[in-house]
Amino acid sequence: MAYALQQLINGLTLGAVYGLIAIGYTMVYGIIGMINFAHGDIFMVSAFIAVTAFTLLAAFDITSLPLAITAVLITAIFFTSAYGWAVERMAYRPLRGSTRLAPLISAIGMSIFLQNMVQLTQGARVKPIPPVLEGGIEIWQSGGFTVQISWTQIMIVLVTIVLMVAFTYLITQTAFGRQQRACEQDSTMTALLGINVDRTISATFMLGAALAAVAGVMVTVYYGVVDFFIGFVAGIKAFTAAVLGGIGSLPGAMLGGLIIGLIEAFWAAYLSPEYKDVATFAILILVLMFRPSGLLGRPEVEKV
């Protein structure tokens, strides 16, 4: 029981991270209807920025923890958004309005490019950073097993909740959110109404990248190691989460992320850690067999 509780906590933390990345996928899909394959690698870039920033801070002897984490978050968000913007501008905008597969291929190309660029400039080795946030709360003890929530886990969940609330507010209540949703529904009409569609799409990419940046910093703090390949795995998982929840739906992305995180934690703990990816995809296929547009997705009504 205690063990299960611990897995629940681990799964929720993991799920929160996946959810943050998945929102980036789902928003981009919603607005221009393409899979941004490079999104996972944007997340990876942010993790590397976080490593550099933490090391720099340590070199300048900035030890105040909240200050350090805030500084790293802001740096990572700033630079990663620049990456999100640049990727959209270079690889996707020229392909607006062409076939559906063209941006997909250039996205895969971009993903390969980013991975190798980071490998070349930052090195192929795993980068470890010293633990940033140590300790935690012991919440329950039974049969020699202690259930513990680490401070990092609490931080990840709290940050995710805050971001989700802020984000929902942004999308549903603000002028930008209205423009963004308008572009999703009909970009031509939106353009006719005097809204700069290109700018809205760019902003969407930057927002998605910013959330991925937060996820990148959190993962760096949580695991303490980073390498250039983490973007692929996390990207696929997050994309699976977005599809599972129903691509295009923000709560769906978060829900999908939590489900994927929980499945992974429990499968690895009780069945076999090797096959946790198989379990994830098998569940995805199963869900999609019965709900072809995901758990919370609107069924696509096709008109002739």
Partner 1 sequence: MSAVIIARHGRTPAERFKDAAWVAFVALLLGIPMVGLTTVDEGGALTVQTRFGMLGIFVGVSFAGRFVFRWIMDQVRGRRAAKPAVAKLDRTPLAIKTIGWAVLGASIALPIMFSENRYVIDTATTVLIYVMLGWGLNVVVGLAGLLDLGYVAFYAVGAYTYALLFSHFGWTFWEALPVAGAMAATFGILLGYPILRLRGDYLAIVTLGFGEIIRVILVNWTELSNGPNGIGSIPRPTLLGLPFERNPAEGTQSFASFFGLDFSGMHRIIFLYYLILVLALLTNVFVSRLRKLPVGRAWEALREDEIACKAMGMNVTNVKLSAFAIGAMLGGFAGVFFAARQGFISPESFTFTESATILAIVVLGGMGSQLGVVLAALVLVLLPELGRNFSEYRMLMFGTAMVLIMVWKPSGLLASREPTIRLNKALAMDNKAAGLGGQA
List the interface residues with partner 1, window 205-264 (CB under 8 A). Answer: 232, 236, 239-240, 243, 247
- To the nearest 10 degrees (0 to 180), the angle between helices 250-266 and 276-290 is 140
Binding string, residues 146-185; x marks residues near partner 1 by CB under 8 A: ----------------------------------------
> Do the beta carbons of residue 28 and residue 91 sit within 8 Å?
no
Given the complex with partner 1, which of 137 and 192 has the nearer CB atom?
192
Least spacing, CB of residue 193 vs partner 1, in Å: 11
Applying CB under 8 A, the span of 162-170, 173-181, 258-266, 293-301 interacting with partner 1 comes to: 293-301
Binding string, residues 112-151; x marks residues near partner 1 by CB under 8 A: xxxxxxxxxxxx-x-xxxx---------------------
- Amino acid making up residue 202: S
Least spacing, CB of residue 141 vs partner 1, in Å: 34
Least Cα distance to 243 among 300, 180, 302, 292 occurs for: 292
Given the complex with partner 1, which of 128 and 135 has the nearer CB atom?
128
Q: Tell me how many residues contact partner 1 (CB under 8 A).
A: 81
Does residue number 191 form part of the binding site for partner 1 (CB under 8 A)? Answer: yes
**Which listed residue (66, 144, 194, 285) binds partner 1 by CB under 8 A?**
285
Least spacing, CB of residue 149 vs partner 1, in Å: 28
Given the complex with partner 1, which of 90 and 139 has the nearer CB atom?
90
- Amino acid making up residue 170: L
Write the DSSP string, 72-113: HHHHHHHHHHHHHHHHIIIIIGGGTTS-SHHHHHHHHHHHHH
Least spacing, CB of residue 55 vs partner 1, in Å: 5
Given the complex with partner 1, which of 13 and 200 has the nearer CB atom?
200
Q: Which of residues 68-107 bind partner 1 (CB under 8 A)?
A: 75, 79, 82-83, 85-86, 90-91, 94-106
What are 87's two structure tokens?
Answer: 């990727």
Distances (CA, A) of 145 to 184, 223, 288: 49, 22, 38
Least Cα distance to 132 among 210, 81, 66, 189 occurs for: 66
Given the complex with partner 1, which of 89 and 136 has the nearer CB atom?
89
Does residue number 45 form part of the binding site for partner 1 (CB under 8 A)? Answer: yes
Alpha-carbon distance of 76 to 266, in angstroms, equals 31
Does residue number 29 form part of the binding site for partner 1 (CB under 8 A)? Answer: yes
> Do the beta carbons of residue 218 and residue 17 sit within 8 Å?
yes
> Do the beta carbons of residue 29 and residue 35 sit within 8 Å?
yes
Least spacing, CB of residue 58 vs partner 1, in Å: 8
Does residue number 109 form part of the binding site for partner 1 (CB under 8 A)? Answer: yes
Given the complex with partner 1, which of 117 and 166 has the nearer CB atom?
117
How many C-beta atoms surround the C-beta of residue 270 within 10 A?
A: 11
